[in-house]
A = this chain, B = another copy of it.
Amino acid sequence: MDVRAHIQAHRDEFVATLSQWLAIPSISADPARHGDVRRSAEWLAEHLRKTGFPTVEIWETPGLPAVFAEWPAADPDAPAVVVYGHHDVQPVDPLDAWDTDPFTPTVRGDQLIGRGASDDKGQILFHTLGLRANLAVSGADAPPVTIKLLVEGEEESGSPHFADLLTRHRDRLACDVVVISDTTMWGADTPSMCVGMRGLTDCQIDVYGPRTDLHSGSFGGAAPNPARALAALLAGLHDADGRVAIPGFYDEVVEASPAERASIAALPFDEAAWLANAASDAAVGEAGYSILERVWLRPTAEINGMWSGYTGEGGKTIVPRSAHAKLSFRLVPDQEPALIQERVRRYVHDHLPPGVRAEVRFHGPGVRPCASDLDSAAVRAAREAMGRAFGTEVHYTREGGSGPEADLADILGAPLVFVAVGLNSDRIHAPNEKVEIPLLLKGAETVAYLWDSYATALRG
């Protein structure tokens, strides 16, 4: 039996096992769900033991737990691979926009629907299927490379403790390459490998005006309105060209090379399809860049949410006492989250009108941007393995999203390789998240081949 046949034979079992895990609402952003994040870690640990990993541990952090599992190669000189993913998921509101319960996984044709199906539980689980396929075909008791699986529980909350976790366990995580499975491909029929991700830092801005809500007739026109101050702050985040107008925001940005921009321009980009995926009527953004460049190569400032004053039925004629917004900033090499945080704070405090004050609270230290070396053996072997699984050429892309990848590369001192099979149409972070089951099986096939390739390609 070959790798592909083994994987196909275990498809139903794989979907059933993944569905068990997806039923656990491991929302790291919601304190009420932190018990479920722990349950998710425990479920994964048990699954990894059943898969055959001789070492499985739950690694505590000051926040939510990660899972570590190691399966050493028989050859002590074999290369070591760290596989990274996360077991926490995004919040699910607006709940009424879901067609099915987000934590009652539902199969519809080739799709599995549920929060976390694509981001990221499905993409972690294809690794255990792929590893079992590799072992089934080789007949060996151990993989051809040492596999170290590291699955964190705070990725959707900005991985506030991940760098510290890596530092503390640096020795046990020693490796020759880090394989990351938390990104997307160009399309179901156009497999691709990500070679870079944006960083992220996000905050809440609280603007305070009068110490109580005021009657807008008795005071309106002379009392400071914090909602108006916040609207001006938010409107001032961008200039007329769509560039972020925070002073210094672009100071450390490394412009993409003409060669990289040319390779992006060569992709079979279909604006109508992109708009359909974006559920939008028009694309917008920074002047002088294509849509893909705006999402992959350029940093952003985005309003994720805001609220102030009266939001119920009918009207209430007040000057509200406070106004609030949640902002996120996507970063590109070599923007540093700490520097951006400082500039955002300064922007807010330099643009407050009289009578209002503001607090800017960042959610953790943020996530640095990262990129991988297209000419490395690690990237080339991964591209070949993926090409064998999919039976077609594999493209290079980037991801607009963010993860703790820069920390992995920096702290572990190893190159990054992205092997993942999500799609932009998977509705991650939105209602009705789904994953394409056949693509998860291709992911499993890819890593089953890749471990054999890495056993020779990465040997010192």
Contact = CB atoms under 8 A, between A and B. Distances in A.
Interface stretch (A36-44, A210-218, A336-344, A388-396): A210-218
Given A227-B305, A303-B308, A310-B91, A355 B280 contact: yes
A238 B228 CA distance: 9
Contacts of A220: 295, 300, 302, 328, 330, 400
A282 interface: yes
B224 A280 contact: yes
B354 A222 contact: no
Interface in A1-51: 28-31
Contacts of A216: 300, 302, 304, 328, 330, 429
A305 B314 contact: no
A232 interface: yes
Contact of A29 (B218, B232, B286, B316): B316
Contact of A221 (B218, B353, B400, B432): B400
Interface residues of A, number: 103
B300 A318 contact: no
B314 A30 contact: yes
A91 B316 contact: yes
A317 interface: yes
Interface in A207-246: 209-225, 227-228, 230-232, 234-238
A158 B28 CA distance: 44
Kindly report how many copies of this chain are found in the complex they form together: 2
A211 to B, nearest CB: 4
B235 A231 contact: yes
A76 interface: no
Contacts of A176: none
A123 interface: no
Interface stretch (A319-327, A372-380, A412-420): A319-327
A401 interface: yes
Contact of A304 (B157, B315, B325): B315
Nearest to A158: B315
A217 to B, nearest CB: 3
Given A227-B303, A320-B304, A315 B221 contact: no
Contacts of A234: 227-228, 231, 235
Contacts of A204: 315
Contact of A286 (B97, B221, B227, B294): B221
Contacts of A309: 303-306, 326
Contacts of A31: 313
Most buried by B among A30, A286, A400, A424: A400
Contact of A318 (B30, B238, B430): B430
A52 interface: no
Nearest to A310: B305
A266 interface: no
A312 B57 CA distance: 32
Contacts of A238: 228
Shortest beta-carbon contacts, A-B, top 4: A217-B401, A305-B309, A282-B355, A235-B235
Interface of A: 28-31, 90-91, 93-94, 97, 157-158, 184, 198, 200, 202-204, 209-225, 227-228, 230-232, 234-238, 274, 277-286, 291, 294-295, 298-300, 302-321, 323-326, 328, 330, 353-355, 357, 363, 399-402, 424, 427-432
